[in-house]
Structure 1
Amino acid sequence: MKTHLLVFLLVVFSYSVPSLAQERDSSEQETKKEVYDFILLSSRYQNAFNFLGRDFGVDIGLISTDLMYYFNSGIYFNVSAIKFLQEGLPWQYGGTLGYNKELGTKTDINLSYSQFLIDGQSEITGIQDLGFAQATFGWEWGLLYSNIQFQTLFNERTDFFINSSHSRYFEFDQKLFKKITLSFEPKFTLMAGTSEFYRMGGFDLTNDNISDFQKFQLLNWEAMIPITFGIGYWDLEFQAKYINPLNLPSFDESNNRFIFGFQLSYAIPIKKTKSK
């Protein structure tokens, strides 16, 4: 059975930058301050792919590698290479251009556009040329950090999604072996949207009402807990999440399931000077 194997990989690396906008007298002597750009390298393994909370009834692991450059202005770009761990499936490549900014002490926004391509031919229809745009507003309101995200998937047909995530960050005061920072961040996410993406998966749609794909409805909820060990500019993160797909059509054999993975990342700071 043909299945849709698109995986969205968007790495968002937040770095707080204070506002530097101010007026200066022309006679004022120009001063410099140190700022940092970052290069972020990461590799990830996941025991099973999922797309909008759907695994389509198959178990296919994946590995990915990402390279991001994050400017201290908040602009970033990321390139990724994704390999599904099943013979005959091609490599998938992605590129992302985005902008991340703190609006205040407790709010932030993130805007991005991603383009995904595959290497060569694939039996899976519809994944040769995909675009993905998102806008996220986040709010730290005390007990939780919450965000609402608006997403658009561009393919032969366009899908629209809204999801909301709620998390709480915890970090142990004392370091393990006096070197390793241990942190974790439980998160709950609920997603709703349209389902036109089913048309590009090669499914037999004859027995289903395909007009339902245009309806805006709940698609999934998931609960996740990542545990991170940090030392210097290195981070090793272990993830466990439970995914519950909702409003599945009759041909979709996706199951409620646990998914496990880990990611290793390294941040390289690049010191620069900036006039103020």
Structure 2
Amino acid sequence: MRSVFLLFLLGAAFMKVQAQQDSTSKTTITVATLYSSNVSYYGQVTNEKLPYILANVSLRFPVGFYLSAGSYKLLNYGSGLSETDIGGGFDFDFNDRLIAGIAYTRSFFPANSPLLQASNENNVNLSAGYTWNWLESSLSADYAFGEQNDVFLSLTNSKEINIGYLFNERNTLSIEPAIELSAGTRHFYQTYIIEKGKRDQANGIIKKPDSPGNPNSANTIAISSNSFDLLSYNFKLPLSLSRANYIAEISYQLSILGPKAETELKNQQSIFGLAFYYQL
């Protein structure tokens, strides 16, 4: 799972609720539960479908500092938790249009994790967002490190559109279509391939060794992982129902991989999600 993306979702939900409550002078707690039909790491999805559920809590102080902790559970893999994250960050509003932030997340994975990002246990994120007259733009830079080291850059343009009210004026319906471009390095993929091979052997799935000219060979992976390339195009369409202190959301995401995608990853993937955010 992409931990920084969750922090972004929590931040977006927080700002929506804050806009309705107008209570920026108090400390707040946001509790979130999410379901997703598959794991996406910067738009990249493995051939193995991995639906999951998530529980997260975030504590935010009036000065802009926040702390967050959450746990993921893959629904079709293993019996214990699949990932646990703890993190914190700071957001600064320069004015009504420009916001910038910095965040750090530490992730804990079980042995032989099937997740693409399992070798990058740490993530430092720098982000900036600007609200134009007709859309919102955000630029996010991530440095993921641990057993491997990777750099990612994501550019997102979105537009929130109010549809109307459900039952009464306190229940607002809105959609926020977004287009995201993600680019980065692929060192994490080397570890994923190695661990996948170990899991296949343990399960009795024996593959022939790669030939020297095979595009999936370790040498080819090592070379390609050092380059900074376009990873994915992501098209997102969330439908939200918001009230004074909660947001319920249904979302759809279409991810299309860049031209240099690895063969173990799906070139195109549709992901459906459900989420609920409640602010105390």
Q: Which has the higher helix share?
A: 2
Partners of 1:208 and 1:249 within 8 A in 2: no
Which portions of structure 1, spanning 4 or more consecutive aligned residues, are displaced by more than 4 angstroms?
A: 13-17, 123-126
Q: In terms of mean alpha carbon deviation, does 151-160 or 217-226 score higher?
A: 151-160
Aligned pair count? 246
Cα distance, 1:160 vs structure 2: 0.7
Q: Which ranges in structure 1 are unaligned for 5 or more consecutive residues?
A: 1-5, 18-32, 269-276
2:225 corresponds, among 206, 213, 222, to 213
Q: What is the correspondence of 1:1-276 to structure 2 with a 5 Å cutoff?
A: 6-8=1-3, 9-10=6-7, 11-13=10-12, 14-15=14-15, 35-88=25-78, 90-91=80-81, 92-119=83-110, 121-122=111-112, 124=114, 127=118, 130-172=121-163, 174-178=164-168, 179-203=170-194, 205-206=217-218, 208-268=220-280
**Identical-residue share of aligned pairs (%):** 19
1:118 and 1:34 map into 2 onto residues whose CA distance is: 35
TM-score (norm: length of structure 1): 0.82
Which amino acid in 2 is paired with 1:117? Answer: F
Partners of 1:89 and 1:122 within 8 A in 2: no
Partners of 2:120 and 2:148 within 8 A in 1: no
1:128 and 1:158 map into 2 onto residues whose CA distance is: 8
Partners of 2:119 and 2:146 within 8 A in 1: no
Q: Alignment RMSD, CA only?
A: 2.4
1:104 and 1:57 map into 2 onto residues whose CA distance is: 44
Which amino acid in 2 is paired with 1:84? Answer: L
C-alpha change, 1:253 and 1:129, in structure 2 (3 Å) is: closer
2:112 and 2:249 map into 1 onto residues whose CA distance is: 32
1:249 and 1:188 map into 2 onto residues whose CA distance is: 19
**Cα deviation 1:199-251 (Å, max 9, x = unaligned):** 12034633625212110110001010111011231211010011001144554
